[in-house]
Structure 1
């Protein structure tokens, strides 16, 4: 079965290469954003996996609830303390943040930054309530400058994601990496956008990260992916109409009226 990649930088392809032999897997997505576009977890959900989505923005929270009924979706942010925090939303983007410095930088660039009050929970409390004793196959964190605070709220001695991927700036000038390393993880890859860490007890998965995604991974980019060749708008409209017509024809063929007509035709042919 061809793997359809939705993630913006082949993150799901790399993860699938490492984890495809584990059925009914479990993930945690902190800063889940859209359930389809640029989603690291969409391909896994389509293969029967489930997990926890942490997303404070109302529109993305609603979309996740709609498209991911098997998942647990929480409208909050992950932090080092429970309570309420100011969150800086940038509608229609994946650039919202809980970091006031990052928010100001984006406001200076002319972005529509809106201050919101949101609930905050620690990752430990989220895992206690919703993960239980099951293995956490991967933890993805994309929080636009809020990474250290998220990590300080996770008890890695109790909950051990096999793989952690954290969106990191190209400069990689972050100060939080020691929190992951000291918790018993090894940095195995920086792909230009994310840092990947393996739990030391699962270091045997490292060969899956030694090579970039390639033809042998048997994957395709999803329709409309930013890295895919742009589709001619007229052709795209024609394809959508053809798909709709095919669906309508299939529904009509399955209707009682259609079956009755077919039976009548067969009778007339025999007469």
Structure 2
């Protein structure tokens, strides 16, 4: 899939990695190479299933490397790993103007809201799983 992205989006900055929290502790993440439906392998995964290791990186490390002037919109839909991805984002250094986040359960919604509510207001719920947060202005 990564090769297709690089081919089809030649002018884009493409980074092949798995987004993790700041305290993940490993250098790679094992995933199944199933195109858009790739998934992280667990201890209970089929031992005969083909897996690949991809580099584990925080969102902060990627933003530090790319160094955009600002981040206007962050859209997170990582099938239940939104909390871990947000824990890998330093919101003091990189504060997106808007964050759209998918929350698969009420529990994940509460956890995500807890992380973001210190600097963001939830302004919309366009679907039953997606929430839109807007950064509060610094006045």
Contact 2:32–2:41 under 8 Å retained in 1:
no
1:71 alignment counterpart: 12
Distance 1:69 1:138 in 2: 21
Distance 2:54 2:19 in 1: 10
1:131, CA displacement in angstroms? 2.6
Distance 1:93 1:129 in 2: 25
* Superposed CA RMSD: 2.7
Given the two structures, how large is their TM-score scaled by the length of structure 1?
Answer: 0.43
1:158 aligns with 2:93: yes
**Highest Rg: 1 or 2?**
1
Q: In structure 2, do the counterparts of structure 1 residues 74 and 189 end up closer, same or farther at CA, with 3 Å as the change threshold?
A: same
Distance 1:99 1:155 in 2: 26
Bigger fraction of residues in strand: 2
Match of 2:116 among 180, 199, 209: 180
Number of equivalent positions: 132
Q: In structure 2, do the counterparts of structure 1 residues 92 and 76 end up closer, same or farther at CA, with 3 Å as the change threshold?
A: closer
- For structure 1, list consecutive stretches of 5 or more residues without a partner in the other structure: 1-58, 203-271
Runs of 4+ in 1 over 2 A off after TM superposition: 81-90, 96-101, 113-116
Query: CA deviation digits over 1:48-97, x for unaligned, max 9?
Result: xxxxxxxxxxx2x1121112122111000111247423333261443x33
Given the two structures, how large is their TM-score scaled by the length of structure 2?
Answer: 0.78
Bigger fraction of residues in helix: 1
